[in-house]
């Protein structure tokens, strides 16, 4: 399992690691898989890029100027009309939710009637998680309120929907009650496969310890990666929220968690990639760059470890499971010294 220091707001779908654990548990324990769970494969983001003009007409049919931005790596969307009507006071939370839900329903109808080979840019299942005043208007610009939804996926045919951390939809409503901006980090999905499910770590605990977590049993989630990167799978994980900690553990043999562990050494920093889960047959790709020159990428290593010299470095390792075709990454900023 992996423990994150975390203080999530109510309903938040994000995990923000602050300090990594000293050492994760071994990636391959003695748990016997049982039952099954879905692994989802994203579609081709190039298809979203190719259909950007059609997608904008579906989202905002009355806007002629090209304003939709599509991220080429993930298909993430961002549209802003550049206009905010109404007075300076943002619309109420209740009004914003009504407008946002009606907007999403209209978009789904237009998607259904668009025909052709248009990718599914709007997930079927979204859950509203929060609404907040985005901006107070001024100088001829109206205020706005934002409504945010998290994507939900079904891990099993007869199971309830669970959230996908990192995939959200945002709808911005101005003071006049009009939707003026839209953002989505939800990837279009291709296929899904049922794979063996790993039992919850709760089931591996001795009976005398299970009562400690009775009110906070582990539940299933999916984790999605950085919208700036390609992704080859959305995999399930077990999670237990605590008062200030979230414990995450793989829920399938495809699910992996990757961590960079640095060790100070003479002349720099030694780095090790620790992978929890997966098949055990991994391919590694290490890179580093200086925060002062982020475009100057330095290749480091193709093994499970690497090293950097003195200085401040942002380091990334990508770990690919050669058996399951799943890639995860970890990023860490380190400071190497000559001492």
Question: What are the residues whose beta carbons fall under 8 Å from the beta carbon of 239, sequence distance 6 or more?
Answer: 218, 219, 220, 221, 246, 247, 248, 249
φ, ψ dihedrals at 208, nearest 5°: -70, -15
Residue 161 resides in a domain = yes
Residue 227 resides in a domain = no
One domain for residues 63 and 179? yes
One domain for residues 276 and 143? no
One domain for residues 164 and 200? no
pTM of the model: 0.82
Output the pLDDT for position 9.
Answer: 39
Chain mean pLDDT for the chain? 85
Find out whether 41 and 189 touch, Cβ atoms under 8 Å: yes
Task: Tell whether the model's pLDDT for residue 207 goes beyond 90.
Answer: no
One domain for residues 33 and 74? no
CATH of the domain at 291: 2.60.40.10
Output the pLDDT for position 183.
Answer: 96
One domain for residues 154 and 256? no
Q: Are strands 77-80 and 179-184 parallel, antiparallel or unpaired?
A: antiparallel
One domain for residues 275 and 163? no
Output the pLDDT for position 71.
Answer: 95
Domain with 273, as residue range(s), is 2-10+21-37+195-218+246-336
Distance CA 88, CA 332 (A): 41
Residue 30 resides in a domain = yes
One domain for residues 167 and 203? no
Task: Tell whether the model's pLDDT for residue 216 goes beyond 80.
Answer: no
Output the pLDDT for position 208.
Answer: 55
φ, ψ dihedrals at 107, nearest 5°: -60, -40
What Cα–Cα distance (Å) separates residue 80 from each residue in 162, 181, 199, 310?
29, 4, 44, 43
One domain for residues 201 and 87? no
One domain for residues 175 and 307? no
Find out whether 269 and 263 touch, Cβ atoms under 8 Å: yes
Residues 152-193: pLDDT tens digits? Answer: 999 998 899 999 999 999 999 999 999 999 999 999 999 999
One domain for residues 31 and 84? no
Output the pLDDT for position 339.
Answer: 62
Q: Where are the alpha helices (DSSP H) in 156-299?
A: 201-204, 207-210
């Amino acid at each position: 399992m992996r423990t994150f220091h975390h203080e999530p707001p109510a309903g938040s779908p994000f995990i923000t690691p602050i300090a990594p654990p000293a050492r994760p548990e071994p990636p391959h324990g003695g748990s016997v898989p049982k039952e099954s769970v879905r692994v989802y494969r994203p579609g081709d983001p190039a298809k979203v890029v190719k259909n950007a003009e059609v997608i904008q007409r579906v989202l905002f049919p009355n806007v002629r100027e090209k304003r939709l931005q599509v991220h080429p790596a993930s298909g993430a969307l961002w549209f802003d009309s550049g206009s905010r009507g109404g007075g300076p006071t943002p619309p109420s939370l209740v009004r914003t939710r009504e407008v946002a839900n009606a907007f999403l329903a209209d978009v789904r109808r237009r998607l259904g009637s668009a025909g052709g080979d248009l990718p599914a840019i709007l997930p079927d299942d979204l859950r509203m998680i929060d609404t907040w005043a985005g901006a107070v208007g001024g100088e001829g610009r109206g205020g706005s309120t934002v409504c945010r939804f998290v994507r939900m996926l079904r891990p099993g045919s007869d199971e309830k929907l669970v959230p996908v951390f990192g995939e959200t939809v945002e709808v911005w409503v101005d003071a006049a009650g009009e939707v003026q901006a839209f953002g989505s980090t939800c990837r279009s999905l291709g296929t899904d496969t049922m794979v063996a499910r790993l039992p919850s770590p709760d089931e591996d605990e001795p009976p005398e310890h299970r009562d400690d977590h009775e009110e906070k049993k582990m539940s299933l989630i999916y984790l999605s990666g950085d919208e700036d990167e390609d992704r080859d799978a959305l995999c399930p994980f077990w999670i237990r929220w605590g008062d200030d900690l979230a414990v995450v553990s793989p829920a399938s043999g495809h699910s992996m968690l990757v961590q960079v562990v640095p060790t100070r050494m003479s002349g720099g920093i030694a780095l090790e990639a620790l992978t929890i889960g997966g098949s055990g047959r991994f391919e590694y790709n290490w890179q580093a760059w200086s925060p002062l020159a982020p475009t100057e990428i330095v290749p480091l290593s193709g093994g499970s470890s690497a090293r950097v010299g003195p200085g401040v470095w942002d380091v990334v390792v990508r770990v690919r499971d050669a058996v399951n075709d799943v890639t995860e990454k970890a990023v860490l900023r380190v400071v190497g010294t000559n001492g």
